[in-house]
């Protein structure tokens, strides 16, 4: 069973590798990620296919063992960009989450997010078009913007074997038995 808890951040990190016991990080497991950089259509620099950095926002636990620690690097990709424009058109961006890297192994992720800027106001644009047609050319919406630190959800897109150390039970130590002299034994006083 997979559990996520901020308190488990101090747990030892288990390697992602072949697991003899069959412990798996399963497809569909939610991975909370946060953007390491801002994404915005402002300045028209964002392009489809452009990659950006994320990192895990919380540890991911399997059987109580931290298998993906906080701060694990991940990668996303821009899938759509529309810049703001005339007549109140706002900017828009869409992105998908591609993978994260644990102990040198890339794990495929799925998930997407998007943002749309605020429109310049359809009513204002319509009114200016009726009163003064050229005014619509100067009215623009806002750029799409997803700030650094924004948390988005990714999901494991492949079953991943995980090497989780076997849990050893503490040794049972019995209380010392009372010493009872054996029959016929001589005791000293």
What are the counts of helices (DSSP H) followed by strands (DSSP E) for the chain? Answer: 1, 14
Tens digits of per-residue pLDDT, 22-33?
688 999 999 999
- The span from the CA of 74 to the CA of 52, in Å, is 9
When the pLDDT of each residue in the chain is averaged and rounded to a whole number, the result is 76
- 46-60, 80-94, 175-189 — most confident range: 46-60
Q: In terms of Cα–Cα distance, which of 145, 135, 142 is closest to 39?
A: 145
Query: How sure is the predictor about 87, in pLDDT bands with cuts at 50, 70 and 90?
Result: low
| Cα atoms found within 13 Å of the Cα of residue 159, Cβ hemisphere only | 6
Q: Which of the pair, 146 or 185, is modelled with greater confidence?
A: 146
Please report the pLDDT score of residue 136 as a whole number: 47
Question: Sign of torsion, CA 96 153 34 164?
Answer: negative
pLDDT score for 68: 93
Find, among 79, 102, 128, 111, the residue nearest to 25 by Cα.
102
pLDDT for 41 equals 87
* pLDDT surpasses 60 at 20: no
Q: What is the pLDDT of residues 124-144, one digit of tens each?
A: 444 444 444 454 445 567 888
């Amino acid at each position: 069973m997979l559990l996520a808890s901020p308190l488990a951040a101090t747990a030892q990190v288990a390697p992602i590798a072949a697991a003899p016991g069959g412990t798996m990080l399963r497809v569909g497991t939610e991975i909370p990620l946060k953007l390491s950089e801002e994404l915005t259509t402002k300045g028209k620099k964002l392009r489809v296919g452009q990659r950006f950095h994320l990192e895990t926002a919380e540890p991911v636990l399997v059987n109580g063992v931290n298998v993906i620690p906080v701060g694990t690097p991940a990668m996303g990709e821009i899938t759509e960009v529309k810049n703001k424009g005339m007549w109140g058109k706002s900017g828009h961006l869409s992105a998908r989450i591609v993978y994260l890297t644990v102990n040198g192994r890339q794990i495929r992720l799925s998930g997407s997010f998007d943002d749309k800027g605020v429109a310049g106001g359809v009513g204002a644009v319509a009114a200016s078009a009726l009163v003064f047609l050229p005014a619509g050319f100067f009215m623009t919406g806002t750029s799409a913007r997803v700030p650094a630190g924004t948390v988005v959800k990714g999901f494991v897109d492949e079953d991943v074997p995980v090497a989780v150390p076997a849990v050893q039970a503490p040794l049972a130590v019995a209380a010392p038995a009372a010493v009872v002299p054996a029959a016929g034994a001589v005791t000293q006083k």
